């Protein structure tokens, strides 16, 4: 009996860690091309073959964007490859618009912010959390080319400073 108890304890997740999280796709260019102001988590309304294809990691966010239409949020440009075993009736259209599931208050907040400022809704990543497909959306402002270059220069400078400080700590103690 003691062996079973200890085995169960060892497999338990560490506090603050969620083992039921699996990233499927990420929009790496979004953080480079936009200033991220606020993020939202939204569920995605999918068909069965889309879920199976996403579980295999066959989703592409490169050209995707989100839009609010008539009080509903839609994810456009997301490409989910057809599932190989779903032939004919069970297959899906790869580039169809997909509805995002948000609370009414979140949709109203997004609508207000998008109307007031020159902002856009950008999907940052797709993932599964506790078995449900989710999308991380960002309320973002586009960067100009010189903003991107400045951000890269700032990031490189902070990396170099951190590297110099770490080196100084190592040599100071040793």
- For residue 115, give the H/E element and its range: helix 104-116
Would you identify the CATH topology of the domain 19-143? Small Protein B; Chain: A; (2.40.280)
pLDDT of 104 > 90? The answer is: yes
The span from the CA of 105 to the CA of 127, in Å, is: 23
Phi, psi (degrees; rounded to nearest 5) at 64: -80, 150
Q: Which residue has the higher pLDDT, 6 or 165?
A: 165
Q: Which two tokens stand for residue 134?
A: 């989710």
Q: What is the mean pLDDT of residues 78-91?
A: 75
pLDDT of residue 61: 87
Interval 128-149: pLDDT, tens: 998 899 999 999 888 776 666 7
Interval 58-71: pLDDT, tens: 888 888 888 998 88
pLDDT of residue 8: 39
The span from the CA of 136 to the CA of 154, in Å, is: 26
CB-based contacts of 41, cutoff 8 Å, min separation 6? 129, 134, 135, 136, 137
pLDDT of 90 > 80? The answer is: no
Of the given ranges (30-39, 73-82, 87-96, 123-132), which has the lowest mean pLDDT?
87-96
pTM of the complete model: 0.67
pLDDT of residue 19: 56
């Amino acid at each position: 009996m003691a062996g079973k108890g200890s085995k169960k304890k060892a497999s338990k997740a560490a506090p603050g860690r969620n083992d039921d999280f699996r990233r499927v796709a990420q929009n790496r260019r979004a953080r480079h091309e936009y200033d991220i102001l606020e993020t939202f988590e939204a569920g995605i309304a999918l068909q069965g073959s889309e879920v199976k294809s996403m579980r295999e990691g066959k989703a592409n966010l490169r050209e995707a964007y989100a839009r609010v239409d008539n009080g509903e949020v839609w994810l456009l440009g997301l490409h989910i490859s057809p599932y190989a075993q779903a032939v004919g009736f069970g297959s899906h259209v790869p580039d169809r618009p997909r509805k995002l599931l948000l609370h009414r208050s979140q949709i109203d907040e997004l609508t207000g912010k998008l109307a007031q400022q020159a902002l856009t809704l950008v999907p940052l990543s797709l993932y599964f959390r506790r078995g449900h497909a989710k999308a991380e959306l960002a309320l973002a402002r586009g960067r100009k080319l010189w903003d991107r270059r400045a951000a890269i220069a700032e990031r490189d400078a902070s990396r170099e400073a951190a590297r110099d400080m770490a080196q100084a700590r190592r040599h100071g103690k040793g």
